[in-house]
Amino acid sequence: MLSVAVTGSAGALGRRVIDDLVEDGSVARIVAIDRRPQRHASDKVEPVKIELSGNSPTSLTTLTDALLGCDTVVHAASDEGRVSHHQIAGSLLARVLDAASDAEVGHVVIISSAMVYGAWDDNPVPMAEDSPTRPNGELAFVSAKLEMEELATTWASAGRKASILRPATTLAESGTSWIGRTLRMATTIRPDRVDPPVQFLHYSDLSRAVATVVTKRAAGVYNVSPDGFIGSEGFHQLIGGLQLRVPGDLSDFLLRTGRRLGIRPTPEGIEPYVHAPWVVANDRLRDLGWEPQSTNEEAFVLGTPPPPWIIPHRRRQEVVLGLSALAGLGVLAVAVALIRRLVR
């Protein structure tokens, strides 16, 4: 029976991971670590309030104490998605790994990103885990993920295990990550003549991928994505009125201008990930028994509420029928008024 600690347990990913682990019969104990108060219905879950960014020796001792007896640590706090976290992602993970070493934990799971492969025109479609990491060099989010991968790999070299998950753009009905919102926003302005394939992953599929590598004690790198990807025509139909098609240079200009003015807050270096492919294959994770439950299209629709000026098709039908009925009543009222006037 396994004992598992989950950092960031009150976050969008952490909550789902705990729910999945609670349902797994091989997991006997879950230590839920977060800076926020928590409540869990299952007796398996032990909530612990800890601020991971605390720099005092006492905070590290507290974290070490919380990890005592655990077989695995899932570092879901790295998926919180706040811009400020990118600058401290490495130091947060280093503290978790130090505490895990002191508590003699043998397995750690971290959340990286498929973006570490880089977005290049010559990328294979899709990419497997043995593809080289070729970051485009300007996006702080990607640099932080690569630093985390290096820290986890070094930690595991001392006879321990590290599982590194590289998910596609991850969305959900609520709690979508910062980078997920950013990429979703950036892809609504698409350069003409440039239509790379795209992928969108639902948070529930990512959480089950985490639970899979935890229970299988599977070490190494695993891509996490739905089957296949969305091509040019499919994405154009999917996004519909949410998409603006402009010349390539103008696309970059609009992203940069929006960034400077704060109208469209996309980070420096996001442009290549709109222009070039970086989709991944999920075969290695499937070999462990994991299967995606949502398609790319379903994940995108669930994680992309339409703006208020776009009326869904069914609602549009209701509005048209309602207006037709009102128009009919208006015509009837005019006819009645005319008849009354003639009678007089």
Over the stretch 203-235, which tens digit does the pLDDT of each residue have? 999 999 999 999 999 999 999 999 999 987 777
Banded model confidence at residue 309, pLDDT cuts 50, 70, 90: very low
209 vs 32, 38, 255, 284, CA distance in Å?
18, 23, 33, 11
At residue 271, the pLDDT reads 79
The tokens 């960031």 sit on which residue?
Answer: 8
- Over residues 267-305, the pLDDT tens digits come to 677 878 888 999 999 999 999 999 999 999 999 888 876
Q: Which helix (H) or strand (E) holds 339?
A: helix 313-343
Residue 161: pLDDT band with limits 50, 70, 90 = very high
If you ran DSSP here, which 8-state letter would residue 198 be given?
A: B
Residues 6+ apart with CB under 8 A from 47: 9, 32, 34, 37, 38, 39, 40
Q: pTM higher than 0.95 for the full model?
A: no
In a domain, 219, yes or no: yes
46 pairs with which residues across the strands?
31
Check whether residue 94 and residue 212 sit in a common domain: yes
Q: Domain of 322?
A: 318-344
Beta bridge partners of 221: 164
Q: How many domains does the chain have?
A: 2
Same-domain pairing of 322 and 223: no
Query: Does one domain contain both 219 and 329?
Result: no
| Percentage of residues of the chain with pLDDT beyond 70 | 70
Residue 159 lies in a domain: yes
In a domain, 307, yes or no: no
| Residues 148, 8 within the same domain | yes
The CATH number of whichever domain residue 60 belongs to comes to: 3.40.50.720
Neighbours of 230 (CB within 10 A): 21
**Same domain membership, residue 211 and residue 85:** yes
Are 338 and 286 contained in the same domain? no
Per-residue pLDDT at 124 exceeds 60: yes
User: Do 33 and 87 share a domain, yes or no?
Assistant: yes
